[in-house]
Structure formats: structure tokens, C-alpha cells
Amino acid sequence: MTRARTILICEDEPALRELIRVSVGGGFEFIEASDGVEALELAKTQNPDVVVLDLMIPGLSGLDVLAQLRQEESGREVPVIVISAWSDARDESFAAGADRFVLKPFVPDDLRAVVEELVA
């Protein structure tokens, strides 16, 4: 019996959280964090299958969350999709351990495709 895949969404804008949730669509369970500290805590404790991480979040920046997550035993393998309005942040994100980089604004179907590719 396969359990539903879990996606952790780290995004401080409620509208964007909803957009990500709806874009990725059915077949997934969602947990949400609106700041960096909460995101790191949930990523470590909830064992999500994919993390969708906005870089501009309060508390800890997205890059810090990613770097610290990669230090953890539990967070070393989880696929992380970084979302940012800064195209300049692409290289830094990959350096910090991101698996995919999605530029804001994004096409909902494209995001879904990226998520499905990572959980396949």
C-alpha cells in the first residue's frame, strides 16, 4: 500500500502557498511553513517527499534553510525545489544543494511536472 506523497511548502505569501498547492494538484499531502525556522523544523521531523522552498522567507532565509537541511542526516536526500524571483539566485541555490530551480512567476503545469519528475 503506497501512502500519499507529502510535499512541504515553505512560502510566506498565503496566496502563493495556495497557488503551489493547487498547481501540484491531487495525489499529494501538503504541509506548509511560512517562515524559515518552521520550514527547517517541519523538514526535519515530517520526512516530506519533496520540499518546495521560496528563498525570500522571514526568519531564516531559504538558502540558510537549505544549507542546514543538507547538514542533517534526515534532510540530506530529500529533493528540494527552490522557487525565487531572483534568477541570479540559481547558482547559489544549486551550490547549497537544490535539485531544481523554478523562477517566479511560474506556470502551474510546469511546477507540477517538476514535482512529478522528482517523486517518480
Partner 1 sequence: MKRRSLPLAARTVFATGLVGVLVGSVFVVMLLAVSALREAERREARSRDVTVSTLALEKLVLDMQAGVRGFVITGDKRFQTPLITAQRELPQALDELQRLVAESPSQRKRVRLLGQEIRDYRDVYAIPIVNIAETNRAAAGSPAAVAEDKRLIDSIRMKFSHLLDAEEGLASQSAQSADERWTAALVLGIGGLIALAAAMLAFGVYLARSIARPVREVAGAATRLADGHLEERLNEGGPGEIGDLTRAFNAMAENLQRSRQELEAQNEQLRESERMKSELVSIVSHELRTPLASVLGFTSLLLTRDFDEETRHRYLGIIDAQARRLGALIDDFLDARRLEQGRLELGRDRVEVAPLLREQAELFRGQSERHRLTVEVPRKPLAVRGDRDRLAQVIGNLLSNAIKYSPEGGVVELVGEDDDGVIRVAVRDQGVGIPDDQQSQIFTRFFRGDAAASGIGGTGLGLAVSREIVEAHGGRIGFNSAEREGSTFWVELPAADRRKKENG
Nearer Cβ to partner 1 (25/74): 25
CA distances from 89 to 54, 96, 104 (A): 11, 10, 12
Query: How far apart are CB 60 and partner 1 at their closest, in Å?
Result: 8
Calpha distance 34→65 (Å, rounded) = 12
Number of residues lying near partner 1 (CB under 8 A): 26
Verify binding: residue 97, partner 1, rule CB under 8 A: no
Task: Quote the least distance from Cβ 44 to partner 1, whole Å.
Answer: 19
Q: Which residue has the cell 531564516?
A: 60
- The answer to the question of residue 86 lying near partner 1 (CB under 8 A) is yes
User: Under rule CB under 8 A, which residues in 1-60 are in contact with partner 1?
Assistant: 12-13, 15-16, 18-19, 22-23, 35-36, 55-60
Between CA 24 and CA 20 the distance in angstroms is 6
In 3-state terms the chain splits into helix, strand, coil percentages (rounded to 5) of 40, 20, 35
Binding site for partner 1 (CB under 8 A): 12-13, 15-16, 18-19, 22-23, 35-36, 55-62, 85-86, 104-109
